Chain A
Amino acid sequence: AIRMTQSPSSLSASTGDRVTITCRASQAISSYLAWYQQKPGKAPTFLIYAASTLQSGVPSRFSGSGSGTDFTLTIDCLQSEDFATYYCQQYYSYPLTFGGGTKVEIK
């Protein structure tokens, strides 16, 4: 199975900050990488697919980049509603696997 490793596991930031989360795949996955946001007690919501394509309705302050094994999710000008846990997921091959998550907390 392809292992997805996110870093950091948590971070503290302030409203207005720029935040970057990294995700590394244990083998090359081309651009078959998605990002999700999850708030406590809620289902995940879909943010980005194909490593850098924003899902319809997702604010443009979210962006993704990368290919192969190294990927990033960037949130420009962090808003209060962005404090949540973020997961990457590879869909290059079965079993589909997620990263361990990055919790973005208020500083």
Chain B
Amino acid sequence: EVQLVESGGGLVQPGGSLRLSCAASGFTFSRSWMSWVRQAPGKELEWVANIKRDGSDKYYVESVKGRFTISRDNSKNSLYLQMNSLEAEDTAVYYCARDKREGGAGPFDYWGQGALVTVSS
């Protein structure tokens, strides 16, 4: 059974940093592109970033470029999102998701339960 479990969410002040983790199991993690998708309270889904199987390619939505960094450790079956210079607009539930296609770029066939990030003073 595929499982994705996020951790690391919480309350952070504007300008602060936070690192999200996603522990994967039930599939060969190193063979899958992985993504982060977020959802602000009461809002629609927004794709944030994804990363190639070996970590050599990464893509980001414009609003987080230069502030967020996606990474992975295939030896630990783990995905990460380092978030710096956080803004109130980054407040959201952050989901870890698996890209279905071998070439990445979605769609997302499995999702974690989400981690809430709140940016507030």
Contact = CB atoms under 8 A, between A and B. Distances in A.
Interface of A: 1, 34, 36, 38, 42-46, 49, 55, 87, 89, 91, 93-101
Contacts of B44: 87, 98-101
B95 A46 contact: no
A49 B107 contact: yes
B106 A98 contact: no
Nearest to A43: B111
The 4 closest A-B pairs by CB, nearest first: A34-B107, A91-B106, A43-B111, A96-B47
Contacts of B47: 89, 95-98
A45 B98 CA distance: 12
A46 B35 CA distance: 14
Interface of B: 35, 44-47, 50, 59-62, 95, 100-101, 105-114
Given A98-B44, A98-B45, 7 more contacts: A46-B107, A49-B100, A49-B107, A55-B109, A89-B108, A91-B101, A91-B107
A11 B55 CA distance: 42
Contacts of B110: 46
B112 A89 contact: no
A43 B95 contact: yes
Contact of A44 (B45, B50, B59, B105): B45
Given A87-B44, A96-B47, A98-B47, A44 B109 contact: no
Contacts of B60: 95
B108 A46 contact: yes
Nearest to B6: A43
16 contacts: A34-B106, A43-B112, A43-B113, A43-B114, A44-B45, A44-B108, A49-B100, A89-B47, A91-B101, A91-B106, A94-B105, A95-B60, A95-B61, A96-B35, A99-B44, A101-B44
A101 B45 CA distance: 8
Contacts of B106: 34, 89, 91, 96
B18 to A, nearest CB: 20
Contacts of B46: 98
